[in-house]
Structure 1
Amino acid sequence: MQTHISFIIKTCFFHLRRIASIRRYLTHDACIKLVVSLILSHLDYCNSFLAGLPASSIHGLQRVQNAAARLTLRKTKRDHITPLLRSLHWLPVNTRISYKLSTLVYKCLNDSAPEYLQSSLDLYTQPSDRPLRSAADPLRLHIPRSKLASAGQRAFPSAGPSVWNSLPLELRQSPSLDAFKNRLKTQFFP
């Protein structure tokens, strides 16, 4: 994955330098549209594959997003990044990964995802010999055991349920995809 991440970082910084060269001619809204279309789309493309990677691997992608926010808002490296991301309504990269996984799981549970993804998820069934507190949670998913400690836990059948089970029950019971996305972004926002 490191080769893929390095390529994304290199491509995004190339586009950021090109946008920076014309930034003074752009309005604020035009700059945001350019950055979203050229930078954030690269960061979001297939980012669910990056679930479970160490923070050192994700750090480079977060540097790209921070540079994009600073360029968009005309701030320097000395300015703190969290308020900038909050003002742009951009989630940090590791949270964007969790957001995408959660959305995919919601779609799978509501039959709007491809069949091969839906078939990889199973609802948690309680052992019959002992009652557990988790029995009150009807939307809890089973996290399968994996033979490979690193790659197996990063696969969708393991990573998706892990993120899903960490969400509050009232969020998981959202009536529609739009309501779920709005509540999820509110939950994840720093």
Structure 2
Amino acid sequence: MPVNSESKQWQERPAIAKSQFVMLGSKQQLAKSVTPYLNIGSSSITPVKKVRNLGVIFDSNMTMESQVSSSVKLAIHSLRNLRAIRKYLTTKAAEQLVHAFVTSRIDCCNSLLYGIPMSQVKRLQVVQNAAARLVTYTRKFAHITPVLKSLHWLPVEHRLTYKILLITYRALKFSSPQYISSLLNFRKPGRSGLRSANTSTLIIPKTRRSWGDRAFASAAPRLWNSLPNTLKDCKSVDSFKASLKTYLMGNFN
């Protein structure tokens, strides 16, 4: 079978050409380190400042700034398009389109954004606020909290918490996926007679740096332990999601 020159060139292109690696650390740590090279065969790979893995952009300082910038850019583009046709839409239709094209961008892989600098969270919050104003025809400088509550939208910071806790609930109740559930361990009470023996308290692993606190193995137990037992004892995913949203909605002003 004949092969044209373009496809032949693609097949002969070495896989190493698409390989990248990134060094993770604080700005001070990276400034002190000597830039290494990875030698694979006759090829040498130098580190880059950010890489994309499964659609998520990781930067060397783990601020997730590049990922947030990408989400904000795509969401704003969709908002501009929706603003052009808003007058032809009902409120319900506008909200559905916002969820499809804007909220989905904000929520994409958002469990990885837990614990990032608040300056980055606020950038996503600005986008959500603009979406809420678009749906409800709210003026630009009107107070946004009542608008979000009327739409039953959790603010971005709480959406990150919601996603972590939902993953935690599924991992604890259904042991799925196994690689996630294996990170969670219940605390064994010292005495069975104590009232605390009946609570579902998870062990919080010790961490040495702020990055460690952002890891699921550390963040999930801390958030889970802060929930009331009535929430932890929900019998189904749907009831947990509804109760958790109600709980979090009551905790923001």
Counterpart in 2 of 1:146? 207
**Residue 115 (structure 1) aligned with residue 175 (structure 2):** no
Q: Secondary structure at the match of 1:110?
A: helix
1:135–1:16 CA distance, 2 compared to 1 (3 A): same
- Higher relative contact order (CA closer than 8 Å, sequence separation 6+): 1
Q: Which runs of 5+ in 2 are unaligned?
A: 1-63
**Residue 62 (structure 1) aligned with residue 117 (structure 2):** no
**Residue 33 (structure 1) aligned with residue 89 (structure 2):** no
Paired residues of 1:137 and 1:169 also in contact (CA < 8 A): no
Counterpart in 2 of 1:186? 246
Higher-helix-fraction structure: 1
State the 1:179 CA deviation.
1.3
Paired residues of 1:9 and 1:61 also in contact (CA < 8 A): yes
Counterpart in 2 of 1:124? 187
Moved more, 117-126 or 61-70: 117-126
Q: Hey, what's the Cα distance between the residues in 1 that align with 2:99 and 2:132?
A: 10
* TM-score, normalization by structure 2: 0.70
* TM-score, normalization by structure 1: 0.92
- Give aligned pairs, total: 187
Deviation by residue 1:134-153 (Cα, 9 ceiling, x = unmatched): 83343110111123x12211
**Percent identity between the aligned chains?**
43
Q: Hey, what's the Cα distance between the residues in 2 that align with 1:132 and 1:52?
A: 37
Q: Secondary structure at the match of 2:174?
A: coil
- 1:1-190 matches, within 5 Å, as 1-111=64-174, 113-126=176-189, 128=190, 135-147=196-208, 149-189=209-249, 190=252
Alignment-mate amino acid for residue 179 of structure 2:
Y
State the 1:16 CA deviation.
0.4
Alignment-mate amino acid for residue 226 of structure 2:
S
The alignment yields a C-alpha RMSD, in angstroms, of: 1.8
Runs of 4 or more off by more than 4 Å in structure 1? 130-134
State the 1:80 CA deviation.
1.0
Higher-strand-fraction structure: 2
Q: Hey, what's the Cα distance between the residues in 1 that align with 2:160 and 2:195?
A: 26
Moved more, 130-139 or 100-109: 130-139
